[in-house]
Structure 1
């Protein structure tokens, strides 16, 4: 077994303790409870030592979703650990009641391996780490296994400014108590649908059908999908991921990625396209609150193969078409003329892009030319390498984290309202969102976007689950957790909640910058810009994301409007 991955996680765990020391005074107690850093991810069976914190204070904006963490350390089995309902109250009797205390589950993970190589699931380090935030009301604790609890506090937008205090009652072998104080400051965070941050996590509807054992596209399937898409909408998701061909990515994931459009070659040789499922799906996702953009994958599939139904043969068949071939152009030109009109009839054309993922530059040029020949207003989205040659033709452009847009180009794009984001995948060791990644790295992404002028962040998989994602996050091609950010249920995760925290910080930065500029508060603006200037990926080689974020968040949670 390789030791590097375990060492990486141990260093992460220790560094996230913020230098807390061993508590010798409480060593004889069988059960201990303590607040811990929410950027801490526990390793199952690994001994941890903390200076016990029986109380904590935090600051929050009105409208913010706040994440905190406490843990139960026990030397005995506790068959039925429960947390009493929590309420925070100010001196006027006003309360904050939307508070959830949820138990964290351990999932199996592995380690980072360069080059995204395929491998056996158990080829690398395997260990259990906390990530899944469960919804159960009680849990059974085994002795010597740390049981963390995730606190989610939604601050109402109409809350009064000031201090709110309350108690957390933990029912173990007896009752234990923690004290919590939240300082609601006089700033308001907009609702997620109003966030400027361009969040794009690609959705996998087939995985939901498989994991819940229901037929694909059945009424049960659509009913089960709704809470997943509602959850994503509340994180500020802008884009609907659609497949307009079968397997746009060459079936690299555990589940199928079927086309939402049925391509039919008639007996007379003409083409017909059935958009009924595409329409139903898009309308459904829009009803869940994701309605800004429709991204259609793809004109350039990884396998260069296209599935259609041949009426003459009476079956589905596949054709291989190289992008440079005349057959490719004719194949797509016929479809796109029809699809363009359909989108215009649905009043969706202006929010729809033909989307491409990491394809060669020359292939991109061909696809762009075909689209522009049909309608010069066609939008194209690309997640891939930075190509200045085609940048003007790309509406929604997400570039790899190692790259940056040229300053003048980025300013021009943002003025034109073009999403200009960055992405991470299996390539980057850090910053990232694997199940073994330090949780603060997901917050860090929001700060990096603000620092470099990006309009948001893209990640290729919201819910592309492996076989048993609630227990084992590993997959054959990429590091553990790379294929998903939430769990079946839906159940959220440390990673997803920290991603939301980073998006909220991005919004806070945007709001404060605008406020400082309008009010000529140059000192505060300079301080904020200086802090943003420290966010370089290379900085993570020497300083943890948790340490960087801890200092930076103090700046955006201190200021008050005049």
Structure 2
């Protein structure tokens, strides 16, 4: 007993000593702080941020435990507004920013990106660790000043929040069109549960909620096996089972599709249903052959009778099912980066089967498709002809931009500047587009909490949300960018309605550096974003 008591006393003394030496300061969200980062001599223990009602705002603090000291730290935030504080954990990345096979010869390094909402405490020894603070400003909050106190390892610092009288729309009602493609099978694999079991849906819920909080506009649904030719870590298995019966007719089992779409709606995502795809990358269509009692593949092209027969039957039956469910108007037959001739062939079959079906494409611009597609998304580096987006908007059509592995920056890779995630949404809407598409929200690697690198693509390109409900710096900053885009839109509408030309001019001048799309060492995404934020904060308080 004496030995045990001595250990307890020694442990308490060690913890107290660490607390006396620990340092806590507010820091910039624009910097990736390494674990050996040395805090400045002048600490920031009191800071001010501006927010609208209904806004989700983030802030970063740093806790530093000196060399030779060890501490088990917990982070808590308390005050007048709903808030949380979580330690930021590190994940491996490297400097690869391209498509194709990921080289294994590049030096790896750790980037702070995982916002570990699951860890109540962390063990720190002679290191610096970021702490992410999230504040959800209620929509009915009274305008004015609010104070929060962050406590880490016995240290306390103050966060002051100036809440404007301006109010953001609910995420489900925002004008910004967000399209982040989902991979539910990755969650089942990582969680070691049966796909579409009760346990699977329980694991999926946090990710549906993250998407809904960001204002997600679409549900990703898979019609046939592997639209993308097995390029991801987990297979995209079909949500509709297609069977060729002994008499040559076709039948379809929609149970998984129905459960998935309803689950997403129950969690706040009841917009468009994006169904992949009539033109997969390998043009193989798996079906169950009733006579043979096994799965078979139809390998074909879009100009054959077999392709037409497969899809005419599928689309007619699918349309009937969607109408019964009340989902037909929400549904798009969707393609990804397919060529013009195949698109026109598929479109002709869609028109023959059910001409009211909506069609979407993420890929190159083709003038032949501009009036045929309900949703058209091209690369952020490209541009539609002048007047095209406006004409499509008048018809109620959606016109977006997307990033993928082909653009080094700005992008959402784990090695990109965190401000890139803010810059992208603002660029999309400041150039007149409806929103942004990214092809992967949760296509996890084998060890997503440790290594963001994958055999293909840039590190982190395949996911930017983490297992077990963990958020990320990239996700939070993307939400920040969407909210900033909405603020600019609402202020513009206000200034035009009030005839406030001076304020409108200030807003447009602050947007212009992002709208021009120039990103270099003199005009970083952090610099242009912070200039816009400062301007909007000033204009919001008038």
TM-score (norm 1): 0.90
1:561 positional shift: 7.7
1:170 aligns to what? 152
1:385 positional shift: 0.8
Alpha-carbon distance in structure 2 between the residues aligned to 1:215 and 1:33: 44
- 1:130 and 2:77 are equivalent in the alignment: no
- 1:99 and 2:78 are equivalent in the alignment: no
1:258 aligns to what? 237
Alpha-carbon distance in structure 2 between the residues aligned to 1:61 and 1:480: 34
Contact 1:384 1:398 in 2 (8 A): yes
Kindly tell me: are residues 560 and 252 of structure 1, through their superposed partners in 2, closer, same or farther at Cα, counting changes over 3 Å?
A: closer
Alpha-carbon distance in structure 1 between the residues aligned to 2:303 and 2:510: 48
- Gaps of at least 5 residues in structure 1 are 1-28, 88-94
- 1:67 and 2:58 are equivalent in the alignment: yes
Matched pairs, number? 520
Alpha-carbon distance in structure 2 between the residues aligned to 1:512 and 1:112: 39
Contact 1:474 1:481 in 2 (8 A): yes
1:49 positional shift: 4.8
Contact 2:73 2:124 in 1 (8 A): yes
Alpha-carbon distance in structure 2 between the residues aligned to 1:560 and 1:369: 50
Alpha-carbon distance in structure 2 between the residues aligned to 1:46 and 1:404: 41
1:188 aligns to what? 167
1:560 positional shift: 4.2
- 1:493 and 2:472 are equivalent in the alignment: yes
- 1:56 and 2:36 are equivalent in the alignment: no
Cα deviation, 1:49-98, whole Å, max 9, x if unaligned, reads 574212111111111111100101222443311223421xxxxxxx22x1
Equivalent positions of 1:38-437 (< 5 A) are 38-45=29-36, 49=40, 51-76=42-67, 77-87=69-79, 95-96=80-81, 98-114=82-98, 116-120=99-103, 122-135=104-117, 136-143=119-126, 145-171=127-153, 175-437=154-416
Contact 2:77 2:149 in 1 (8 A): no
2:536 aligns to what? 556
1:119 positional shift: 3.2
Contact 2:26 2:44 in 1 (8 A): yes
Contact 1:132 1:491 in 2 (8 A): yes
Alpha-carbon distance in structure 2 between the residues aligned to 1:398 and 1:48: 44
Cα deviation, 1:211-244, whole Å, max 9, x if unaligned, reads 1110111121112212211121111001000000
Alpha-carbon distance in structure 2 between the residues aligned to 1:50 and 1:323: 66
- 1:460 and 2:443 are equivalent in the alignment: no
Contact 1:431 1:537 in 2 (8 A): no
2:448 aligns to what? 469
Cα deviation, 1:356-408, whole Å, max 9, x if unaligned, reads 00011111111111111222211111111111221111111111011122231
3-state SS of 2:520 partner: helix
Alpha-carbon distance in structure 2 between the residues aligned to 1:50 and 1:548: 28
Alpha-carbon distance in structure 1 between the residues aligned to 2:144 and 2:262: 42
Alpha-carbon distance in structure 2 between the residues aligned to 1:372 and 1:47: 63
Kindly tell me: are residues 85 and 561 of structure 1, through their superposed partners in 2, closer, same or farther at Cα, counting changes over 3 Å?
A: closer
Equivalent positions of 1:502-513 (< 5 A) are 502-513=481-492
1:341 positional shift: 1.3
Alpha-carbon distance in structure 1 between the residues aligned to 2:499 and 2:295: 65
Alpha-carbon distance in structure 2 between the residues aligned to 1:178 and 1:453: 41
3-state SS of 1:53 partner: coil
3-state SS of 2:243 partner: strand
Alpha-carbon distance in structure 2 between the residues aligned to 1:421 and 1:123: 36
3-state SS of 2:111 partner: strand
Alpha-carbon distance in structure 1 between the residues aligned to 2:72 and 2:541: 47
Contact 1:450 1:509 in 2 (8 A): no
1:520 aligns to what? 499
Alpha-carbon distance in structure 2 between the residues aligned to 1:342 and 1:296: 14
Alpha-carbon distance in structure 1 between the residues aligned to 2:314 and 2:172: 33
3-state SS of 1:471 partner: coil
Alpha-carbon distance in structure 2 between the residues aligned to 1:452 and 1:334: 41
Contact 1:44 1:129 in 2 (8 A): no
Cα deviation, 1:312-341, whole Å, max 9, x if unaligned, reads 111011110112222211221111111111
Alpha-carbon distance in structure 1 between the residues aligned to 2:280 and 2:39: 48
TM-score (norm 2): 0.93
Alpha-carbon distance in structure 2 between the residues aligned to 1:517 and 1:57: 30
3-state SS of 2:280 partner: coil
Contact 2:22 2:155 in 1 (8 A): no
Kindly tell me: are residues 216 and 522 of structure 1, through their superposed partners in 2, closer, same or farther at Cα, counting changes over 3 Å?
A: same
Kindly tell me: are residues 498 and 546 of structure 1, through their superposed partners in 2, closer, same or farther at Cα, counting changes over 3 Å?
A: same
Which residue of the other structure, out of 524, 543, 551, is the alignment partner of 2:523?
543
